[in-house]
Structure 1
Amino acid sequence: MVGEIPAGRIVHFPIHQDGGTALRGRAFKQAHIRKPSPSEHLVDVLKKAHHLHAVPLKYPNKADLSYYCSSKVPPRGDQPVLVLHPTPKPSMQYFVAEYIRLLCDPAQCNVCDVSISPEVRTWILSKGYAWQDVELWVNILISKSSDDAVSLLRGGYAKGPTPIWVVLFLLRRERLTLGAFRHLLRFSLGRVGLVEYPDGRHQFLEDLTIDEKTVFLLFLRLLRHARDILPSAIAPLTKLITAKINPRNIGTQHSEVPNEQISEAKMIDMRVKLAHIYNKALKLLSLPSAQNPYASAAHQERAQFEILRRIAEYEPPIPVTEDGYRALIRIQLSHVKTERERLWASLKSKGWPPWKEDRTAMDEDILPEDAISRAGKLLRKMGEAGYPATSSDQAASILTGWDLDDSPTIQTRTILYPQAQTSDEAKKSTVLQSPSRPLKEFLDPAIWAARVRSTRTLEEAWACFLAYDVSNAPQDQQVYHVMFEKIVADRRRRRRQRDARHVDVPFHGPEWKAPVPGDSTDVWPVPESYRDRIDPMLKPPDTKELLDRMTSKGVTPSARCLEFIVQTAANYTEALYAIKHFHGPRPSMLPLLKRDVTPEQAAQIPDGIFKAYILLLSRLWYRPLPVRFNVPQHENPLLIHRALDLLSLKKSNDRKCWNSVLYGLAQHGLYDLKDTSTGIMRDAIETMTKLEVELDQEGFGIICKAFNMRATERENNVKARALSKITASEDLLKTTKEIQREWDDHLEHCSADSRYLRTLFNHLVGTEPQKSSEAHGGMQVPIPHIMYRYIRSLGTMYDFEGLLSAAEFLRRNASMFVFNAKYATNGSVRLRLAVICLRVHLEFRSHVHYGKSKAHDAFENRKTNNNNNTWTSPGHYFDSNPAAAETLLAMPRHSEDQVALARLKLDDADARVLGGWPSDEEVHRYLLHLSGMRVQPASPPADETDPKPVYPNLM
Structure 2
Amino acid sequence: MLSWRTPAISGTIGGSSLARAKSALAVPVPRRLQSSQAVESPGTRRLEWRLDGRKLPPWRTKRRDYEPFSPSAVILERLYARESRMTREQWELFRDIASKRSTRLPVMTAQMLLRQEEASLRTSLSGLLTDDDGSETDSNWDKRLEILAHTGITEQHLQHWVWILQGKTADERVQRFLSGDTYKPMFLLFIMIHKAHTIFDRQLFVSLLDYVSTTYCQDRSQAAEPQRVYRSLSSRHNMTPAHFIEMLDRLVNQALRLCPEALVTIAEVVTCYLETKPVSPNSHDNGYSAQCRVFNRALFTFSRAANLRPLANTRYNWEAQKHLLAFSNSLKRPLIINESGYRAIQGVMVGREKSEDEAKVAIRSAKSWPPYREAWDGVDEQRRLEDDLSRAVKTGISAREAGYPDSELDRALGTLGGAVLGDGPTVQTRSTSFRARSGRRAAENVYKTWAAQVRATRNSQEAWAAFRRPPREGIRPSAWVYEEMFAKLFAYEVDDPASAVPGNAKEVMPVYQPGNLSEFEKWRLQPPTVAELYDHMLDSGVKPVGQVLRMLVANAESEGEVLRYLQDSPYQDFAAVVQERDRSCPPNEANFFQVEGLYRSVPRTVFGAYISFLCKMQRKVYSGHSYADHADSPVDNSYLRRALAVVSVRLRPELPEGRTYKPPWYDILRTMVMARTHGALVTVARGQVELFLNVFKWVRKHTGMDAMLLEIMCLSTGRVMAANFTKAANPPVVRPEAVYAAREERWWARHDAAGEEGRKTLASAWVESMAAFEEMQKPGSGIGGFHVYIYVRVLGMYGAVHEMVVVMRWVLARLEEGDQFNGGIEDGTSNHAYLLRAFGFAEAYGNECGRVDEVASIKARRRLLVEEGYPFTLGEMSKSDEEDVEFVMAIAEGWGKYAEDDVDGKIPW
Shorter chain as denominator, the TM-score bin is 0.7 to 0.9
State the Cα distance separating 1:710 from its structure 2 match: 1.6
Residue 918 to residue 721, structure 1, CA distance change in 2 (3 Å): closer
Corresponding residue for 1:629? none
AA aligned opposite 2:200: L
Matched, 1:545 2:532: yes
Corresponding residue for 1:679? 690
The 3-state SS of whatever aligns with 2:214 is: coil
Structure showing greater Rg: 1
Corresponding residue for 2:512? 527
Contact 1:96 1:138 in 2 (8 A): yes
Match of 2:106 among 58, 70, 93: 93
Corresponding residue for 2:174? 150
Residue 929 to residue 408, structure 1, CA distance change in 2 (3 Å): farther
Counterparts of 2:634 and 2:216 in 1: how far apart (Å)? 64
Residue 123 to residue 795, structure 1, CA distance change in 2 (3 Å): farther
State the Cα distance separating 1:271 from its structure 2 match: 2.1
Counterparts of 1:332 and 1:53 in 2: how far apart (Å)? 45
Counterparts of 1:123 and 1:470 in 2: how far apart (Å)? 64
Counterparts of 2:530 and 2:794 in 1: how far apart (Å)? 39
Give CA-to-partner distance per residue, 1:658-686, whole Å, 9 cap, x none: 11211112224455832564423321222
Corresponding residue for 1:587? 573
Contact 1:617 1:643 in 2 (8 A): yes
AA aligned opposite 2:708: E
Corresponding residue for 1:927? 882
State the Cα distance separating 1:384 from its structure 2 match: 0.7
State the Cα distance separating 1:249 from its structure 2 match: 9.0
Corresponding residue for 1:723? 744
Counterparts of 2:851 and 2:763 in 1: how far apart (Å)? 17
Counterparts of 2:211 and 2:432 in 1: how far apart (Å)? 33
Task: Give unpaired runs (5+ residues) of structure 1.
Answer: 1-27, 56-82, 198-202, 251-261, 428-442, 501-511, 626-632, 727-734, 767-777, 848-892, 933-955
Residue correspondence of structure 1 range 505-904 to structure 2 within 5 A: 514-527=499-512, 529-531=514-516, 535-537=521-523, 538-583=525-570, 587-595=573-581, 596-597=583-584, 598=587, 599-600=592-593, 601-603=595-597, 604-606=600-602, 607-623=604-620, 636-650=636-650, 651=652, 652-653=658-659, 654-671=661-678, 673-675=680-682, 677=684, 678-690=689-701, 692-717=702-727, 723=744, 752-766=764-778, 778-814=779-815, 817-818=819-820, 820-821=822-823, 828-844=829-845, 893-904=849-860
Residue 749 to residue 324, structure 1, CA distance change in 2 (3 Å): same
Corresponding residue for 2:208? 187
Give CA-to-partner distance per residue, 1:102-143, whole Å, 9 cap, x none: 334614779999888877777777777775553342243244
Counterparts of 2:814 and 2:217 in 1: how far apart (Å)? 18
Counterparts of 2:200 and 2:640 in 1: how far apart (Å)? 27
Matched, 1:160 2:182: yes
Counterparts of 1:721 and 1:177 in 2: how far apart (Å)? 49
Residue correspondence of structure 1 range 92-111 to structure 2 within 5 A: 92-102=105-115, 103-104=117-118, 106-107=123-124
Contact 1:334 1:413 in 2 (8 A): yes
Match of 1:245 among 258, 274, 295: 274
State the Cα distance separating 1:279 from its structure 2 match: 0.8
State the Cα distance separating 1:587 from its structure 2 match: 3.3
Contact 2:299 2:321 in 1 (8 A): yes
Corresponding residue for 1:74? none
Give CA-to-partner distance per residue, 1:488-510, whole Å, 9 cap, x none: 01xx33xx86xx9xxxxxxxxxx
State the Cα distance separating 1:756 from its structure 2 match: 2.3
Residue 904 to residue 483, structure 1, CA distance change in 2 (3 Å): same
Residue correspondence of structure 1 range 172-571 to structure 2 within 5 A: 172=194, 174-179=196-201, 182-193=203-214, 206=226, 209-210=235-236, 211-213=238-240, 214-247=243-276, 266-268=283-285, 270-417=287-434, 419=436, 423-424=440-441, 444-468=446-470, 471-489=473-491, 492-493=492-493, 514-527=499-512, 529-531=514-516, 535-537=521-523, 538-571=525-558
The 3-state SS of whatever aligns with 2:837 is: helix
Counterparts of 1:670 and 1:126 in 2: how far apart (Å)? 72
State the Cα distance separating 1:761 from its structure 2 match: 1.6
Farther-moved stretch of structure 1 (698-707 vs 751-760): 751-760
The 3-state SS of whatever aligns with 1:622 is: helix
Matched, 1:134 2:120: no
AA aligned opposite 1:803: M
AA aligned opposite 2:165: L
State the Cα distance separating 1:459 from its structure 2 match: 1.4
Corresponding residue for 1:907? 863
Give CA-to-partner distance per residue, 1:880-933, whole Å, 9 cap, x none: xxxxxxxxxxxxx342233133324433449955434634x146673368899x
The 3-state SS of whatever aligns with 2:328 is: helix
The 3-state SS of whatever aligns with 2:422 is: coil
Residue 189 to residue 418, structure 1, CA distance change in 2 (3 Å): closer
Counterparts of 1:699 and 1:131 in 2: how far apart (Å)? 45
Residue 30 to residue 164, structure 1, CA distance change in 2 (3 Å): closer
State the Cα distance separating 1:342 from its structure 2 match: 1.2
Corresponding residue for 1:169? 191
Contact 1:623 1:638 in 2 (8 A): no
State the Cα distance separating 1:539 from its structure 2 match: 2.9
AA aligned opposite 1:927: E
State the Cα distance separating 1:98 from its structure 2 match: 1.9
Contact 1:42 1:93 in 2 (8 A): yes
AA aligned opposite 1:572: E
State the Cα distance separating 1:172 from its structure 2 match: 2.2
State the Cα distance separating 1:581 from its structure 2 match: 1.8
Higher normalized contact order (CA 8 Å, seq sep 6+, divided by chain length): 2
Residue 382 to residue 41, structure 1, CA distance change in 2 (3 Å): closer
Residue 922 to residue 444, structure 1, CA distance change in 2 (3 Å): same
AA aligned opposite 1:549: H
Counterparts of 2:326 and 2:756 in 1: how far apart (Å)? 59
Give CA-to-partner distance per residue, 1:754-780, whole Å, 9 cap, x none: 4422211222232xxxxxxxxxxx543
Residue 693 to residue 711, structure 1, CA distance change in 2 (3 Å): same
Residue 710 to residue 150, structure 1, CA distance change in 2 (3 Å): same
Counterparts of 2:839 and 2:328 in 1: how far apart (Å)? 44
AA aligned opposite 1:183: L
Contact 2:795 2:804 in 1 (8 A): yes
Give CA-to-partner distance per residue, 1:600-634, whole Å, 9 cap, x none: 32343322321111122223323469xxxxxxx97
TM-align CA RMSD? 4.3
AA aligned opposite 1:592: V
The 3-state SS of whatever aligns with 1:620 is: helix
AA aligned opposite 1:323: S
The 3-state SS of whatever aligns with 1:515 is: coil
Report % sequence identity.
Answer: 18
Farther-moved stretch of structure 1 (546-555 vs 826-835): 826-835
Contact 1:51 1:142 in 2 (8 A): no
AA aligned opposite 2:293: H
Contact 2:464 2:527 in 1 (8 A): yes
TM-score of the superposition, structure 1-length normalised? 0.70
AA aligned opposite 1:836: R
TM-score of the superposition, structure 2-length normalised? 0.73
Give CA-to-partner distance per residue, 1:446-465, whole Å, 9 cap, x none: 22222211111211111222
AA aligned opposite 1:98: Q
AA aligned opposite 1:551: L
Contact 1:53 1:173 in 2 (8 A): no
The 3-state SS of whatever aligns with 1:820 is: coil
